[in-house]
Homo-oligomer: A and B are copies of this chain.
Amino acid sequence: MPLYAYFPNPPNGEFIDRLHERLDEGIRIAYGRKLPDPDDYDVLVSGRPSDEYLNASNKIKSLVIPYAGVPTNTRALMGEYPKISVHNLHHNAAPTAEMALTLMLAAAKSVVVADRELRTGSWMSRYGESGGMLLEGRTLLLLGYGAVGRRIARSARALGMRVVAVRRGGPLSFSDLPDEIHGPEDLDLLLPRANVVLCTLPDTEETRGLIGAPELALLPKGAVLVNVGRGPVVDEEALYMALKSGRVAAAGLDVWYRYPKTEADRDSTWPCTLPFHELDNVVMSPHRGGITDLTDTLRAAHLALLLNAAASGEQMPNRVNLGRGY
């Protein structure tokens, strides 16, 4: 029997075209809110599935979340379906790593302030006391060393940085090794050496608030913090106070503490409860890590990769560990 995948939320036409171009022959796709008839799909493709769609097919083996991450509700719900494996897409590794490097460099070099001043004819940031931080020879502490972290490490080493990674374990190929790799228990020993701390961690029970006031206090003078993982991994108040006091020299933030809930909120939602927007030493980015001009192409290509693997009888990649939450 060929593989059959069902999308309750119909993707846009261009996405479907790109997906079909890459799917192996024989894979069947259906989409639309109305349940297909017969409802014998093997794979449900949905970020926020309901019980209805999880129960309708007698053959369902896997849920594919067609983006990165796992919504909290989906994670809780899927705990009740232990026989259905949960997978997601890692298509955003390259764009997110690029955004992390962008924010690291923009924060370290005060690009936003320099741009704003020069637009008024002022060259003062050229003649300032310290200039931007030289990254060559400095130490990057990477929190999390998955697909995104490994890409960041490669580029940071090309810049001449020393890369120290913190991760919980799991296999790692030789070509992916950073300069040093540590378990989370070493964090307090590593922070005093970190000129840049870059967080790629998901929001889980273990990571929430991992970087708070005591951790920020361990950083050396002039350190830069970048977050492209999830906002709550870094305590909001501690970060705000450290930036305001200059204890942390600069930050580049792509992930936040508050998000627009509806489409109407998108032009009027503060990303935080404290006034980060009053600070000059933060570069504020509206969670755009995974978003580029090629996002849909990459998503379609990665989704096809998963479906093609399943259709050929291989294990579907990118299985989510529901206990860990990623």
Measured CB to CB, the residues of A under 8 A from B are: 94-95, 98-99, 101-103, 105-106, 108-109, 111-112, 114-115, 117-127, 130-136, 154-155, 157-160, 222, 259-260, 266-271, 277, 283-288, 291-295, 298
Contacts and interface: CB of A to CB of B under 8 A. Distances in A.
A153 to B, nearest CB: 9
26 contacts: A94-B134, A98-B132, A99-B109, A106-B106, A109-B288, A114-B285, A118-B271, A118-B286, A121-B269, A121-B271, A122-B267, A123-B259, A123-B286, A123-B287, A125-B286, A127-B266, A130-B293, A131-B288, A132-B291, A132-B292, A132-B293, A133-B292, A134-B292, A134-B293, A155-B158, A155-B159
Contacts of A124: 266-267, 286
A287 B108 CA distance: 16
A111 B121 contact: no
Given A105-B106, A292-B132, A295-B131, A118 B260 contact: no
Which of A95, A119, A124, A133 has most chain B Cβ within 10 Å? A119
B131 A270 contact: no
A160 B155 CA distance: 9
Nearest to A125: B286
Contacts of A271: 118, 121, 123
Contacts of A283: 111, 115
A98 B135 contact: yes
Contact of A288 (B126, B277, B291, B295): B126
Specify how many copies of this chain sit in the oligomer: 2
Contact of A111 (B102, B120, B293): B102
Nearest to A269: B121
Contacts of A260: 123
A135 to B, nearest CB: 6
Given A105-B105, A114-B288, A266-B127, A293 B122 contact: no
A265 to B, nearest CB: 8
A239 to B, nearest CB: 16
A109 B295 CA distance: 13
A115 B132 CA distance: 19
Contacts of A134: 94-95, 98, 292-295, 298
Nearest to A266: B123
